[in-house]
Amino acid sequence: MSFRRLRDSILEKILSPEEQQIKIAEVGRIIGPIADKFPAICSDASVLRFLKARNYNTIKAARMLRASIKWRLEFKPDKIRWDDVAQEALMGRIYRADYLDKQGRVVFVIKAGRQSTSATIVQIKYLVYCLENGIFNLSSTQEQMVWLIDFQGWSTSCISVKVTRDAAQVLQNHYPERLGLAVFYNPPKLFESFWTMVKPFLEPKTYRKVTFAYPDNQRSRTMMEELFDMDKLESCFGGKNTAGMNFEAYGQKMREDDKKMIDFIDSCCSTSEANEVLQSRNDSDNESSGSEAVYSNLDEDEETILKRSPYSEYEPMNEVHHEKNE
């Protein structure tokens, strides 16, 4: 990482709501008419998350947003249903907890010691399903989630650098500012060497959201008590809940969520609230009816995009850098 990128990642900007709106409008103008075809991902709240991920650099945020739109057209995350991923979910490696943290954030439990033998794309598809489901279950006042990673039974045979890298790229590139905190609970000493390999895949903002906790450490215990209701927290994280995951019950809950998603789109897709949660059904129609035009707009060259850039007093021209590798 260059000194400039390191400096920019550490010196995060803090803008007023008015300044944020100016930045959001600038990104909209840079994106161009393609934004009208994707009201969900181009909503103010969504654009603001992309801006925060790029420290309010509108050129970088617009580039990131366009790439994410293209990814959603290709990967179709909002079309994934429980029955598509149930086999991968069977081992209980990742699941959404039936409680929130004390800040009202959705909690995902990840069992790092359970090894998946599925292909990378299958594992990523399930991760994306979990992310979409978690976002759907967020309250209107909360945008972020918490990951609790249990390292019981973990060994080097449980890891895949490729899956870890791809998962980090999906989270950072297409779900910016959705991760609020990741708690690595009781990782073994051996994990340090793997963590050294993984850190280069993580952006500084993501890296700073990771914290380590240990059952025999008083500060860790205090942190967990401040974050969670210990009666609901699983015993593997120092809580009192010994129930564990019931796959059949969990699958039924996910199918119910799938139905709620479909019903929600059918009944509310014209409202701004629905557009905040996921792509409207018209997005998929646009893909089939005018995909060539959509892809053409998304593949505009950098020079064309820069010509639409309305530099503001908050982002002088000399702050824009044409970096090829983000």
Q: Using the structure block, give the residue that is written with the tokens 């790092």.
A: 112
Given the DSSP bridges, would you call strands 94-100 and 106-111 parallel, antiparallel or unpaired? antiparallel
**Strands ordered across the beta sheet of 210-213:** 94-100, 106-111, 145-150, 179-185, 210-213
Domain ranges of the chain: 3-77+264-319, 93-240
Q: In this prediction, what percent of the chain has a pLDDT beyond 90?
A: 66
Express each pLDDT in 206-249 by its tens digit.
Answer: 999 999 999 999 999 999 999 999 999 999 999 999 998 899 99
Rounded CA-CA distance 92/98 in Å is 14
pLDDT: which is higher, 124 or 194:
124
Range of lowest pLDDT (215-219, 251-255, 290-294, 318-322): 318-322
What per-residue confidence (pLDDT) applies to 323? 41
Range of lowest pLDDT (74-88, 149-163, 204-218, 237-251): 149-163
Q: What is the mean pLDDT of residues 88-108?
A: 96
What per-residue confidence (pLDDT) applies to 19? 97
What residues are paired with 211 via a beta bridge? 183
Range of lowest pLDDT (23-27, 88-92, 281-285): 281-285
Taking 70 as the threshold, does the pLDDT of residue 316 lie above it?
no
What per-residue confidence (pLDDT) applies to 268? 55
Mean pLDDT in the chain?
84
- Greatest Cα-to-Cα distance within the chain, rounded to the nearest angstrom: 59
Nearest alpha carbon to residue 158 among 181, 183, 188: 188
What per-residue confidence (pLDDT) applies to 12? 72
Rounded CA-CA distance 265/39 in Å is 13
Give the DSSP H/E element, type plus range, for residue 237. none
Select, from the ranges 243-247, 292-296, 310-314, the one with the highest average predicted confidence (pLDDT): 243-247
Single pTM value for the model? 0.82
φ/ψ bin of 139: left (φ > 0), alpha (ψ from -120 to 50), beta (otherwise): beta
Taking 50 as the threshold, does the pLDDT of residue 92 lie above it?
yes
What per-residue confidence (pLDDT) applies to 245? 87
What per-residue confidence (pLDDT) applies to 297? 60
34's tokens = 């393609």
**Torsion sign (Cα): 175, 87, 98, 224:** negative
Range of lowest pLDDT (69-73, 87-91, 190-194): 190-194
Q: In this prediction, what percent of the chain has a pLDDT beyond 70?
A: 78
Superfamily of the domain at 93-240: CRAL-TRIO lipid binding domain (3.40.525.10)
